[in-house]
Amino acid sequence: MPLDEPRIAVLTPVKDAVAHLDGYFEGLYRLEYPRRSLSLGLLESDSADDTYERLIERLPELRRDFREVGVWKKDFGFRLPPGTPRWAGAVQIERRAALARSRNHLLFRALGDCDWALWLDVDLVEYPPDVIERLLAAGRDIVQPNCVKKRGGQSFDRNAWRDRGRYHLGDLRGQGEVVPLDSVGGTMLLVRADLHRDGLVFPPFPYGRPHPLSRREAFGSTRTIFSRRGPDVRGEIETEGLGLMAYDMGARCWGMPNLEIVHKDV
Question: What is the residue type of 82?
Answer: P
pLDDT of 86 over the 70 cut: no
Query: At how many degrees (to 10) do helices 92-110 and 238-248 cross?
Result: 60
- Other CB atoms closer than 10 Å to residue 102's CB: what's the count? 26
Q: What is the mean pLDDT of residues 229-238?
A: 63
Closest CA to 31 of 144, 146, 130, 147: 130
CA distances from 54 to 18, 19, 44, 78, 190 (A): 7, 11, 11, 21, 26
Helix (H, G, I), strand (E, B) or coil at 180: strand
Q: What is the mean pLDDT of residues 129-154?
A: 97
Q: What is the mean pLDDT of residues 205-219?
A: 59
State the pLDDT at residue 209. 73
Closest CA to 44 of 23, 22, 18, 81: 18
State the pLDDT at residue 210. 67
State the pLDDT at residue 3. 55
Per-residue pLDDT tens for 102-127?
999 999 999 999 999 999 999 999 99
Question: What is the residue type of 162?
Answer: R
pLDDT of 217 over the 80 cut: no
State the pLDDT at residue 93. 85
> Which of 10-24, 58-72, 114-128, 231-245 shows the lowest mean pLDDT across its residues?
231-245
**Roughly how many angstroms between the first and final C-alpha of the chain, as a whole number?**
36
pLDDT, the chain, mean: 89
Asked if 143 contacts 256 with a C-beta cutoff of 8 angstroms, the reply is yes
Q: What is the mean pLDDT of residues 191-214?
A: 87
Domain at 8-263, CATH homologous superfamily: Spore Coat Polysaccharide Biosynthesis Protein SpsA; Chain A (3.90.550.10)
Q: Does 2 or 229 have the greater pLDDT score?
A: 2
Q: Number of H helices and number of E strands within the chain?
A: 6, 11
Q: What is the pTM of this model?
A: 0.89
Percentage of residues in the chain with pLDDT exceeding 90?
A: 80
